[in-house]
């Protein structure tokens, strides 16, 4: 939905102000005021209209519900806030801001490319809390509570003629409660079509729930060995499991697009700026793949106000009056406007380790139909 709205904005709007910065950092009020004054000065030096500077500062003052560190991307067009996006985790790269016809959208697209819609199921023997969320966003999209029967839930340890009967009754109650949870999860997955379903909570409750989930849910499940509903529970293992799963999914998506581009002797792909621009001009790109470091490189292309949206030189701009912008931004914008997906080659290095030096990978793309043989 957000990419569709951004597509419309890029196609129709004129001058816009954009800002990619840190979210709330937990600083004392005096430090925040100093940081905001410094930001206002930088925006003014970059040619951002004074009214937009005031609006930006006012919006940033509202804060977000995300814990530090977090990142925020704002887009103002015609003096109105069109986008205000907050993302969990540190900022990807330096702070970016400016004003003009072609806003920098790669910071936003990098966060969106890493997002996944997930369902979180925290279960115990009485029921479950089910959350529908978009990873990296500040608030869940939906929260559901399933409350089952809470009588006779603890298996008795005493002996006597009624011991076995109470044991059976407790097990039956647990099974019934998890059947209700499974029905709710099945319905939510059919409705929202998430990428992953994370299940945590009481060990026995998890086992009973997993046995009852539908066939369309089971392939999505990631079981996390953590009792997150218990009082004072530590969520570290749960958060690490989500992060690891999402990183694996990101790598899988990129590898899948690269494999598609390489099939049939690369007839289904394009590599290098010239080939990718040609494919974008024909609306042929299915998935654009960019090295994230391209945004800081010196290469430029022409961004065009109308179709075909991007050109290398004025001779192939089809008479449009283009503006020279960063090549990665021009490619990403053209991809978005032609309904192509944008993925990024991100080299994540563990904290404390040095990032290895390597050349920036050329832009590449998988195509909707094969290239004509040359």
Q: Which residue reads 């040619």 in tokens?
A: 47
A 10 A CB-CB count for 80 gives: 10
Dist CA 285 CA 283 (whole Å)? 6
Q: Average pLDDT, whole number, for the chain?
A: 89
With bands split at pLDDT 50, 70 and 90, how would you rate the model's confidence at 153?
A: very low
pLDDT of amino acid 169: 62
Contact 64, 86 (CB under 8 A): yes
pLDDT of amino acid 352: 67
Beta-sheet pairing, 364-367 with 285-291? antiparallel
End-to-end alpha-carbon separation of the chain, Å? Answer: 38
Dist CA 211 CA 113 (whole Å)? 33
Query: 113-147, pLDDT tens digit by residue?
Result: 888 999 999 999 889 999 999 887 767 889 999 98
pLDDT of amino acid 162: 54
Per the confidence metrics, is the pTM higher than 0.75? yes
Q: Of 129, 109, 112, give the one whose Cα is nearest residue 121.
A: 129
Residue 320, token pair as written in the block: 């449009």
pLDDT of amino acid 325: 97
pLDDT of amino acid 28: 86
In DSSP notation, 61-96 reads: HT--SPPSSEEEEEEEETTEEEEEEEEES--SSS-E
Dist CA 290 CA 299 (whole Å)? 13
Q: Which residue reads 């953590």 in tokens?
A: 226
pLDDT of amino acid 174: 85
- pLDDT-above-90 percentage for the chain: 64
pLDDT of amino acid 305: 93
Dist CA 344 CA 217 (whole Å)? 28
pLDDT of amino acid 155: 47
The H or E element that residue 176 is part of is helix 163-192
In DSSP notation, 130-171 reads: EEEEETT-SS-SEEEEEE---SS-SPP---STTHHHHHHHHH
pLDDT of amino acid 156: 47
Contact 207, 153 (CB under 8 A): no
Residue 27, token pair as written in the block: 């600083």
Q: Of 292, 264, 278, give the one whose Cα is nearest residue 361.
A: 292
Domains annotated on the chain, with CATH: 1-104 (3.30.960), 117-234 (3.30.420.60), 253-374 (3.30.1330.30)
Least confident interval from 10-19, 56-65, 157-166: 157-166
Backbone angles phi, psi at 312, to 5 degrees: -85, -45
User: Does 161 score more than 60 pLDDT?
Assistant: no
Dist CA 72 CA 90 (whole Å)? 10
Q: Of 92, 115, 114, give the one whose Cα is nearest residue 104.
A: 92
pLDDT of amino acid 14: 74
Which residues on adjacent β-strands are paired with residue 83? Answer: 75
pLDDT of amino acid 83: 94
A 10 A CB-CB count for 194 gives: 19
What does the pLDDT average to over 16-34?
90
Higher per-residue pLDDT: 27 or 136: 27
Backbone angles phi, psi at 284, to 5 degrees: -95, -15
Backbone angles phi, psi at 288, to 5 degrees: -95, 135
Higher per-residue pLDDT: 139 or 195: 195
Backbone angles phi, psi at 196, to 5 degrees: -145, 150
Contacts of 321 (CB under 8 A, 6+ apart): 304, 305
pLDDT of amino acid 167: 60
Higher per-residue pLDDT: 132 or 173: 132
Burial of 196 (0-12, 13-18, 19+ CB in 10 A): buried
Dist CA 1 CA 359 (whole Å)? 34
Dist CA 316 CA 314 (whole Å)? 5
Query: 265-316, pLDDT tens digit by residue?
Result: 788 999 999 999 999 999 999 999 999 999 999 999 999 999 999 999 999 9
With bands split at pLDDT 50, 70 and 90, how would you rate the model's confidence at 188?
A: very high
Q: Of 117, 301, 90, give the one whose Cα is nearest residue 192.
A: 117
Most trustworthy range by pLDDT among 30-39, 64-73, 222-231 = 30-39
């Amino acid at each position: 939905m957000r990419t569709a709205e951004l597509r419309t904005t890029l196609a129709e709007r004129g001058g816009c102000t954009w800002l990619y910065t840190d979210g709330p950092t937990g600083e004392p009020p005096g430090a925040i005021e100093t940081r905001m004054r410094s930001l206002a000065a930088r925006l003014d030096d970059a040619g951002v209209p004074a009214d937009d500077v005031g609006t930006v500062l006012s919006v940033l003052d509202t804060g977000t519900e995300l814990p530090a560190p977090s990142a925020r991307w704002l887009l103002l067009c015609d003096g109105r806030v069109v986008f205000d996006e907050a993302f969990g985790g540190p900022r990807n790269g330096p702070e970016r801001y400016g004003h003009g016809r072609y806003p920098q959208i790669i910071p936003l697209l990098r966060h969106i490319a890493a997002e996944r819609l997930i369902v979180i199921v925290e279960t115990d023997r009485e029921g479950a809390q089910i959350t529908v969320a978009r990873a990296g966003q500040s608030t869940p999209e939906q929260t559901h509570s399933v409350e089952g029967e809470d009588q006779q839930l603890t298996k008795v340890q005493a002996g006597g003629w009624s011991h076995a009967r109470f044991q059976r009754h407790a097990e039956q109650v647990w099974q019934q409660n998890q059947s209700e949870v499974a029905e709710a999860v099945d319905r939510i997955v059919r409705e929202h079509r998430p990428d992953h379903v994370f299940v945590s909570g009481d060990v026995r409750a998890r086992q009973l729930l997993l046995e009852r989930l539908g066939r369309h849910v089971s392939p999505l499940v990631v079981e996390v060995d953590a009792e997150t509903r218990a009082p004072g529970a530590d969520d570290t293992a749960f958060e690490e499991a989500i992060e690891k799963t999402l990183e694996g999914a990101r790598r899988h998506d990129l590898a899948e697009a690269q494999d598609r581009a390489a099939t049939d002797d690369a007839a289904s792909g394009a590599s290098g700026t010239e080939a990718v621009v040609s494919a974008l001009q024909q609306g042929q790109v299915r998935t654009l793949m960019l090295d994230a470091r391209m945004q800081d490189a010196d290469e430029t292309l022409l961004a065009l106000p109308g179709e075909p949206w991007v050109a290398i030189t004025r001779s192939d701009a089809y008479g449009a009056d283009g503006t020279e912008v960063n090549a990665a931004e021009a490619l990403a914008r053209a991809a978005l406007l032609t309904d192509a997906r944008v993925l990024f080659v991100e080299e994540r290095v563990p904290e404390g380790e040095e990032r290895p030096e390597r050349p920036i990978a050329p832009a590449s793309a998988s195509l909707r139909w094969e290239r004509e043989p040359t």
